Chains A and B, each alone.
Chain A
């Protein structure tokens, strides 16, 4: 195992004050128990503070890639390092500490609908606070302050006491972003964060992610299947096809031709979100 994890920035400092982490994959293969090879020898170097859009057709391995970075999907072979820590070797407490430094955002928001917005955001503190406190919901003032600041960043502070299920989809995704921010993360992973949102809301959420990257300097990896979003919000574009990296370059310069190469077919109207 690599160097021990230092704890996050002292609670109470602005979310994201901790130094961002780079990500490194070497020959990563993910084979699921049913025999499907989701990642087939992926090697990548992502610098700290980059905003990377990962694109590819359904089933190309985008989710699998992003899930190997926090150990939700174990790799079959190869190594994954985030911030110099070997995710593939981490187990138990060490793995949980690593996950505590990496925020994750999901397509389906994954909030506890009956819990309040604030309680959901405080889930971001589970790896940073003593277990008994999080179990009893007896959060410290410092943790609550971090959660409040995270909510404020996504413009949801006034909803702190609402039930999560009472919010619209876009609002729920903002709360989920706040939950990730409350971790004071060094990297944020987003798996199709706007796939279930309408176009204006999708742009709002993507803009939030961009601000996290630009203002707080946090490394952001975001899975997208819409090429205009990838172009607009990513600084770097990684194209996956059948579990392999088939494109890696600037996002802004990626022409339709590039996307056709990644997708292995011509561009269709539903590959763009529009405005």
Chain B
């Protein structure tokens, strides 16, 4: 599409716009270029270093079909009740881990937000969140294992610790993104730091926090199954055992249960999150 002729800058100086306005010099885009180059290098290095054996790849489809047959041709439905019970234990583990994570992460994220916590504390907390996020749950669980043993509590604690890393980061980012107005209003009325957080910050971040909590619960439901691999109980534990015994027909049932439950929780939680965020937006849009 071209602009209407009258709007185009006319070089002869006859039109409304004489076209003699020069844009200010464009800011340097060196950083963007350097970053793009770095991404390309990383991708190339990645392909090169994983040493892909392309030949093996051709066997994959037939193997997949064979195992699918073993698992789902005649699922061992008699194992369903136990599978459901173990799934329930996994979900409970996820739930407990989420709640514990929220309880610790929420005050920490308030302290870690720019403009609210003292600078040294802020730096230390951000580092802590980053370190926690860098360590996979399963490693955290193995460490905690030495204290609490092979129980679902270990799994819940591992999820909680890992949740502090993510919830803490999302939390302080959300707090730093809120409008300064209500915060300033509480400060102008003589509010202390805590009062500013309670009445200037909290009402603004609550929808976002609620959504983070649900999302973290979704993550924990998926992770709780994986944590079962190290034997802390739940559906993951059961899945490992039956895979080791090569009882594929039971493994099939377990996979069905895991997929159905995870998808159902994801969908329910996702719908709830959308409602929270859209509700918040719709309300904000109203005059």
Give the A-B pair count, Cβ closer than 8 A.
Answer: 94
Contact between B192 and A99 (Cβ–Cβ < 8 Å)? Answer: no
Contact between B194 and A123 (Cβ–Cβ < 8 Å)? Answer: no
Contact pattern, B 175-213, Cβ under 8 Å of A = 1, otherwise 0? 000000110111111111011001110011011000000
Contact between A165 and B286 (Cβ–Cβ < 8 Å)? Answer: yes
User: Could you list 20 further interchain pairs (A-B, Cβ under 8 angstroms) beyond the known A98-B190, A111-B182?
Assistant: A72-B187, A96-B190, A99-B187, A100-B189, A110-B185, A111-B185, A112-B199, A112-B204, A113-B182, A114-B204, A114-B206, A114-B207, A114-B283, A119-B203, A123-B189, A127-B190, A131-B192, A135-B198, A169-B287, A179-B189
What total of chain A residues lie within 8 Å of the partner, measured CB to CB? Answer: 38
Contact pattern, A 94-138, Cβ under 8 Å of B = 1, otherwise 0? 001111111110101111111100010001101110010011000
Distance to closest chain A CB from B89 (angstroms): 36
Question: Could you tell me the distance between the alpha carbons of A233 and B74 in the complex, rounded to whole angstroms?
Answer: 85
Look across to chain B and name the residue whose beta carbon is closest to the beta carbon of A136.
B198
Look across to chain B and name the residue whose beta carbon is closest to the beta carbon of A132.
B194
Residue among A103, A108, A114, A168 having the largest count of chain B Cβ atoms under 10 Å: A114
Look across to chain B and name the residue whose beta carbon is closest to the beta carbon of A189.
B188
Contact pattern, A 163-197, Cβ under 8 Å of B = 1, otherwise 0? 10110110000001001100100000000000000
Question: Could you tell me the distance between the alpha carbons of A207 and B99 in the complex, rounded to whole angstroms?
Answer: 50
A70 on interface, CB distance cutoff 8 Å: yes
- Choose among B190, B198, B207, B280 the residue that contacts A100 (Cβ–Cβ < 8 A): B190
Interface residues of B (CB under 8 A from A): 181-182, 184-192, 194-195, 198-200, 203-204, 206-207, 280, 283-284, 286-287
B residues within 8 A CB of A101? Answer: 190
Give 5 pairs: A residue, B residue, CB < 8 Å, sorted on A. Answer: A97-B190, A99-B189, A135-B195, A135-B198, A169-B287
Contact between A104 and B185 (Cβ–Cβ < 8 Å)? Answer: yes
Contact between A123 and B287 (Cβ–Cβ < 8 Å)? Answer: no
Contact between A127 and B185 (Cβ–Cβ < 8 Å)? Answer: no
Which 10 residue pairs across A and B have the least CB separation, nearest first? A127-B190, A100-B190, A110-B181, A99-B190, A112-B203, A110-B185, A104-B188, A126-B191, A96-B190, A115-B203
- Choose among A110, A124, A169, A180 the residue that contacts B182 (Cβ–Cβ < 8 A): A110
Look across to chain A and name the residue whose beta carbon is closest to the beta carbon of B279.
A114
Question: Could you tell me the distance between the alpha carbons of A109 and B118 in the complex, rounded to whole angstroms?
Answer: 28
Look across to chain A and name the residue whose beta carbon is closest to the beta carbon of B180.
A110
Look across to chain A and name the residue whose beta carbon is closest to the beta carbon of B188.
A104
By secondary structure, the A interface counts as mixed
Question: Could you tell me the distance between the alpha carbons of A252 and B191 in the complex, rounded to whole angstroms?
Answer: 37
Residue among B181, B182, B206 having the largest count of chain A Cβ atoms under 10 Å: B182
Question: Could you tell me the distance between the alpha carbons of A153 and B86 in the complex, rounded to whole angstroms?
Answer: 61
Distance to closest chain A CB from B196 (angstroms): 9
Contact between B192 and A163 (Cβ–Cβ < 8 Å)? Answer: no
Look across to chain A and name the residue whose beta carbon is closest to the beta carbon of B181.
A110
Question: Could you tell me the distance between the alpha carbons of A106 and B183 in the complex, rounded to whole angstroms?
Answer: 12
- Choose among A108, A166, A168 the residue that contacts B283 (Cβ–Cβ < 8 A): A166
Contact between B286 and A126 (Cβ–Cβ < 8 Å)? Answer: no
Distance to closest chain A CB from B82 (angstroms): 45
Residue among B182, B186, B189, B195 having the largest count of chain A Cβ atoms under 10 Å: B189
Contact between B195 and A134 (Cβ–Cβ < 8 Å)? Answer: yes
Contact between A126 and B203 (Cβ–Cβ < 8 Å)? Answer: no
Question: Could you tell me the distance between the alpha carbons of A98 and B182 in the complex, rounded to whole angstroms?
Answer: 19
Question: Could you tell me the distance between the alpha carbons of A85 and B247 in the complex, rounded to whole angstroms?
Answer: 82
Question: Given A99-B190, A114-B203, A179-B189, A126 and B283 touching (CB < 8 A)?
Answer: no
Contact between B195 and A126 (Cβ–Cβ < 8 Å)? Answer: yes
Distance to closest chain B CB from A173 (angstroms): 12
B residues within 8 A CB of A166? Answer: 283, 286
Distance to closest chain A CB from B161 (angstroms): 28
Residue among B191, B204, B283 having the largest count of chain A Cβ atoms under 10 Å: B191
Contact between B200 and A112 (Cβ–Cβ < 8 Å)? Answer: yes
Distance to closest chain B CB from A171 (angstroms): 9
B residues within 8 A CB of A124? Answer: 189
- Choose among A108, A123, A165 the residue that contacts B199 (Cβ–Cβ < 8 A): A123
Contact between A109 and B181 (Cβ–Cβ < 8 Å)? Answer: yes
Look across to chain B and name the residue whose beta carbon is closest to the beta carbon of A100.
B190
Contact pattern, A 142-176, Cβ under 8 Å of B = 1, otherwise 0? 00000000000000000000010110110000001
Residue among B188, B207, B284, B287 having the largest count of chain A Cβ atoms under 10 Å: B188
A residues within 8 A CB of B190? Answer: 96-101, 126-128, 183
**In the complex, which residues 58-111 of chain A have their Cβ closer than 8 Å to any Cβ of chain B?**
70, 72, 96-104, 106, 108-111
Contact between B189 and A183 (Cβ–Cβ < 8 Å)? Answer: yes
Contact between B284 and A113 (Cβ–Cβ < 8 Å)? Answer: yes
Look across to chain A and name the residue whose beta carbon is closest to the beta carbon of B204.
A112
Distance to closest chain B CB from A82 (angstroms): 13
Distance to closest chain B CB from A40 (angstroms): 24
Contact between A72 and B184 (Cβ–Cβ < 8 Å)? Answer: yes
A residues within 8 A CB of B192? Answer: 96, 126, 131
Look across to chain B and name the residue whose beta carbon is closest to the beta carbon of A124.
B189
A residues within 8 A CB of B283? Answer: 113-114, 163, 165-166
Question: Could you tell me the distance between the alpha carbons of A98 and B188 in the complex, rounded to whole angstroms?
Answer: 10
A residues within 8 A CB of B189? Answer: 99-100, 103-104, 123-124, 126-127, 179-180, 183
